[in-house]
Amino acid sequence: MSIEHPSFGKLDENRIIIFDTTLRDGEQSPGFSMNLAEKLRMAEALTGLGIDVMEAGFPIASPGDFEAVKAIAETIGIRDDSPVICGLARSGREDILRAAEAVRPARRKRIHSFLSTSPLHMKYKLRMEPDEVLAAVADSVTLARQFTDDVEWSAEDGTRTDPDFLCRCVEAAIRAGATTINVPDTVGYALPEDITRIFTMLRERVPGTEKIILSTHNHNDLGLAVANTIAAIRAGVRQVEATINGIGERAGNASLEEAVMAIRTRHDAIPFDNNIETRNILKVSKLLSAITSFDVQPNKAIVGRNAFAHEAGIHQDGVLKHAATYEIMTPESVGWNKSSLVMGKHSGRAAFRDKLATLGYSIGDNQLNDAFRRFKDLADRKKVVYDEDIVALVDDEVLRDHQRIRFVSLDIHAGSKVPQRAELELEIDGVIKRAVSTGDGPVDATFRAIHELFPHTANLVLFSVGAVTEGTDAQAKTTVRLEENGKLVDGQGADTDTIVASARAYVHALNKLLVKRVRTAPQALSA
């Protein structure tokens, strides 16, 4: 049995479509928003990973979302190696037209329309009767099909939907021309057996399911997202929706790397194939962490720092004798290797530019000069410069459009003899300003100095410090989250000096607050 798909052609029955929604479901969660340049870099990395469909955003949600989807469609979407570029839309006409316009430049494009089908959502969120919902399903898919043959329809809150009604909605969507039907566990409530029952039912009861791709989209509120994804595959689903590092609404989505490695490692029990180049997994995971400044937890499967670390002596002994004693997959198969040492203080500007290109950066000469100067400075101070160091450094230096405030210099008096004092210079709208502040510790003194130079009402709600790489000469990577009138922004800074990194992160966050990113539509409720 095989399916003829508008974007993929003849699909083998064992082929799993990997649908990545890092840039949509992932990006819309607090602290994970990305600017256009950052989205383009992630999109490039995801393309290199071999995903089949890239949900690039929710075009109606804001002008920024629209521009990002369009830019991805125009740049990556026209290439031979591009995944299908997908835009999300609610069922209204405006949503679908906006999504269609955003993905239009792509060679292969998908419109993904969704509507809630559960009693709770229909009554309280949509305030629609079931018959109205049913009509809207057909109308939205029919309209979307005018722009592309590849149309996905999702029953939002599908796992809490009345089974008979779910069957009717899915049938209506297929009749209207949907080529992928997704039943999301939007609230992360389902158990694996629920997922099995729902997809088995749809395949048995709804005419036409044998000609389309069924899709699963699971949230991790109970830690079951990947387990539910595997259950869905075994129940006949051939598209998996997932995100890098499992980011997404609330507790996140099914983690792409975990789902893919479960299929690959347990191919004996889950005999399905996909196009993911698993050796690129770690690189993409780290890029996402660098861009968003949120590391995965150390014990995170596949990509966590400890995922392949063996601490117990008896385990270490076993691994040295034969890796398979305690390793079910090799670290190399997902991209871990001993050294990503790349550059030193003798590396020239051309090599640096080349390196940036392979890391997904394309920057102008001025930004390159600034970044190169800081790289040389770093190479003088730090013996070994890793890819991660360069990503942190360049993120810190460039890709900051519209910055009104620039960090110039910082001198700190710290230690156990109070008071700690910060002498800070910032350039604000082109004018260098200087302040001296004391505080409860050097970070507090520095942040007070920033306040003095640029008075503002934002509240500091999160301050975290991590190390980019290992060793006492590692760069500190700091995150500062500011809140103003309900708007949250995260700023990041990197430097071998933790306090300087903190000042840079604070300034970065302030600059982001100054560039208001306003969502024009109601909250971007996910499918």
Reading the block at residue 57, the tokens are: 């955003």
Instruction: Report the residue from 148, 218, 245, 526 that binds Mn ion according to the rule CB under 5 A.
Output: 526
Q: For Mn ion, which is the closer residue by CB, 115 or 426? A: 115
Q: For Mn ion, which is the closer residue by CB, 227 or 468? A: 227
* Stretch of 314-322, 376-384, 477-485, 518-526 contacting Mn ion, by CB under 5 A: 518-526
Helix (H) or strand (E) holding 482: strand 476-484
Q: Which amino acid is at 408?
A: V
Task: Enumerate the H helices of 398-464 as residue ranges.
Answer: 442-453
Closest CA to 72 of 57, 88, 52: 57
The string of DSSP codes covering 240-276 is: EEEBGGG--STT-B-BHHHHHHHHHHTTTTS--B---
* Stretch of 25-33, 127-135, 476-484, 506-514 contacting Mn ion, by CB under 5 A: 25-33
* Stretch of 20-28, 56-64, 200-208, 300-308 contacting Mn ion, by CB under 5 A: 20-28
Instruction: Report the residue from 25, 55, 397, 495 that binds Mn ion according to the rule CB under 5 A.
Output: 25
Cβ of residue 124: shortest distance to Mn ion, in angstroms? 19
Q: Which amino acid is at 386?
A: Y
* Stretch of 2-10, 19-27, 478-486, 503-511 contacting Mn ion, by CB under 5 A: 19-27
86/106 Cα distance (integer angstroms):
9
Q: For Mn ion, which is the closer residue by CB, 478 or 526? A: 526
Q: For Mn ion, which is the closer residue by CB, 25 or 171? A: 25
Counting contacts by CB under 5 A, is residue 215 touching Mn ion?
no
Cβ of residue 25: shortest distance to Mn ion, in angstroms? 4
Q: For Mn ion, which is the closer residue by CB, 183 or 356? A: 183
Cβ of residue 249: shortest distance to Mn ion, in angstroms? 5
Counting contacts by CB under 5 A, is residue 182 touching Mn ion?
no
Q: For Mn ion, which is the closer residue by CB, 160 or 448? A: 160
113/95 Cα distance (integer angstroms):
9
Cβ of residue 184: shortest distance to Mn ion, in angstroms? 6
- Residue 141's φ and ψ, nearest 5 degrees, are -65, -40
Q: Are 303 and 297 in contact (CB under 8 A)?
A: no
Q: For Mn ion, which is the closer residue by CB, 153 or 361? A: 153
Q: For Mn ion, which is the closer residue by CB, 246 or 335? A: 246
Distances (CA, A) of 302 to 183, 248, 329, 335: 27, 18, 9, 10
Cβ of residue 526: shortest distance to Mn ion, in angstroms? 4
| Count of alpha carbons within 13 angstroms of residue 79, beta-carbon side | 11
Q: For Mn ion, which is the closer residue by CB, 225 or 287? A: 225
φ/ψ bin of 252: left (φ > 0), alpha (ψ from -120 to 50), beta (otherwise): left
The string of DSSP codes covering 18-67 is: EEE-IIIIITTSTT----HHHHHHHHHHHHHHT-SEEEEE-GGG-HHHHH
- Determine the residue with CB nearest Mn ion: 526
Cβ of residue 186: shortest distance to Mn ion, in angstroms? 6
Tell me the site size for Mn ion, rule CB under 5 A.
2
Q: For Mn ion, which is the closer residue by CB, 58 or 375? A: 58
Counting contacts by CB under 5 A, is residue 216 touching Mn ion?
no
Cβ of residue 99: shortest distance to Mn ion, in angstroms? 16
Q: For Mn ion, which is the closer residue by CB, 195 or 394? A: 195
Cβ of residue 405: shortest distance to Mn ion, in angstroms? 35
Cβ of residue 121: shortest distance to Mn ion, in angstroms? 13
Reading the block at residue 410, the tokens are: 């910082």
Counting contacts by CB under 5 A, is residue 140 touching Mn ion?
no
* Stretch of 21-29, 333-341, 372-380, 490-498 contacting Mn ion, by CB under 5 A: 21-29
Reading the block at residue 376, the tokens are: 């040389």
Q: Counting every residue, how long is the chain?
A: 527
182/167 Cα distance (integer angstroms):
12
153/180 Cα distance (integer angstroms):
6
| CB contact burial 279-302 (16+ within 10 A = b; e otherwise) | ebbbbbbbbbbbbbbbbbeeebeb
* Stretch of 6-14, 24-32, 465-473, 494-502 contacting Mn ion, by CB under 5 A: 24-32
Counting contacts by CB under 5 A, is residue 387 touching Mn ion?
no
Cβ of residue 21: shortest distance to Mn ion, in angstroms? 7
| Count of alpha carbons within 13 angstroms of residue 121, beta-carbon side | 19
Cβ of residue 117: shortest distance to Mn ion, in angstroms? 15
Residues at the site binding Mn ion, with contacts judged by CB under 5 A: 25, 526
